[in-house]
Structure 1
């Protein structure tokens, strides 16, 4: 780990060495004079959703620390303030980043370790946990199918070129262009074919998740009634591996969306209710 960039009694900003380069991180120490409840590693969302959700991630990280958790936030390779271009980002590099971050965190906390993933970060957390057992997983409005995330991302390109009669008019055409040319530019992000293919291949229902509690907080508006059936099927699938899914639907704004500075107090409150007593 390199020297801290910023250090306060509760938050430390620093870069740690990784392969390749360095990763920017924030460490929130557990509140003093409180029983330490364990450690939590945050896995951020995809592309611009990372920046849009920074405030909510910070609010929740501080809340976790106040409860007694040690929390580490890391910008993955090619993302945020870490080194590398987004065009060079790869799923396997991000998994290695999480392994290095988890090792760093476990050296500072002897308690149970949980992954906390937002949006695509939730799917990455689940995938990572399949090969690196953890004590629990926290999912904030996760993508359960990688292909859904990539399609949503590509639809931004369709919006950008709306009105241009020569521009592609479907995600299928954009996907064909991505396959043919190796990358595609969307909202200032150059998405590589290799990363898109790796994300497309991720399906939460097919993952051999570890035997641990998984808390899924569904925000961004009233949860659709049809989602209940999907949740039940997923819970049954994961229960076969002794993973227990707890589903927490709630109303709240999509703070990862274009509206800058949006907060979802209902999500913060729901998360605090579940984890405030240190119960997994």
Structure 2
């Protein structure tokens, strides 16, 4: 590992030596004035959602550190400020990046590990749990199906938003283009077939988790006080099915519904103060 770029009392930006290249990371040191609570490894979202949520993730990381957690944010290979082009990103390389980061935290004797994943990062965290064996997994508005994530990504394509005569009019048509050309670009992000196949193949219902506690936070409804909508009911039902599926393995899944409609399909910086506040409330106690 290279030396940190700079050191502050609370945050250390640095690069990991990895294969291939390097990974940019931010380490948030735990508040020395409170009892240490453990370590949290952040797994960021996919494509432009990483940029849209950087500030929100940094704010939450600082809040965790203030509570006594050691927090590590890592830009996965091909993402953010890490080396590699986005189209070279691979699911297995991202798994290896998380193992590298988790081992780094363990070497600092940071205590029990929590994997904190946002959106596709949530599914990646769940997929990596068998290897990393965290005490708990925190999910922020996760995709529980990799195929759903890729389809949502493809729907952002200008080809679907402003279809030309004779052009593709569905995600299936864009997937056909991807199969022919080996890669497809959406919003400045080019994805290659190997990554799409690996993400498509990952579904939370098919994962085997080690004994741990999973906290799933999701906005799926309307304004506070509004009747529960179909989307909220569907998400809650999915959580209940997964809880029943994972319970025999010693997994305790807790679903935390939040008021408000998710704004992931928009543009610009994204923040959800209610999500950050609810997470701090939970982690100020014992999330396990």
Shorter chain as denominator, the TM-score bin is over 0.9
Tell me the residue number matched to 1:154.
154
Contact 2:70 2:110 survives alignment (8 Å)? no
Instruction: Give secondary structure in 1 for the equivalent of 2:59.
Output: helix
CA distance in 1 between partners of 2:96 and 2:56 (Å): 25
Structure 2: any 5+ residue segments left out of the alignment?
Answer: 223-230
TM norm structure 1 = 0.96
Contact 1:252 1:267 survives alignment (8 Å)? no
Structure 1: any 5+ residue segments left out of the alignment?
Answer: none
TM norm structure 2 = 0.93
CA distance in 1 between partners of 2:264 and 2:55 (Å): 10
1:204-252 deviations in whole A, cap 9, x for unaligned?
0110011100000112644612322222111100102110001100024
Contact 2:163 2:169 survives alignment (8 Å)? no
Distance 1:66 1:107, change over 3 A: same
CA distance in 2 between partners of 1:148 and 1:156 (Å): 13
Contact 2:155 2:161 survives alignment (8 Å)? no
CA distance in 1 between partners of 2:139 and 2:18 (Å): 25
Tell me the residue number matched to 1:230.
238
Task: Please point out which of 249, 254, 263 is paired with 2:262.
Answer: 254
> What's the offset of the Cα at 1:163?
4.0
Task: State how many pairs are aligned.
Answer: 280
Tell me the residue number matched to 1:52.
52
Contact 2:212 2:251 survives alignment (8 Å)? yes
1:27-55 deviations in whole A, cap 9, x for unaligned?
00000111000000000000000000101
Q: Which residues in structure 2 correspond to 1:3-152 (within 5 Å)?
A: 3-152=3-152
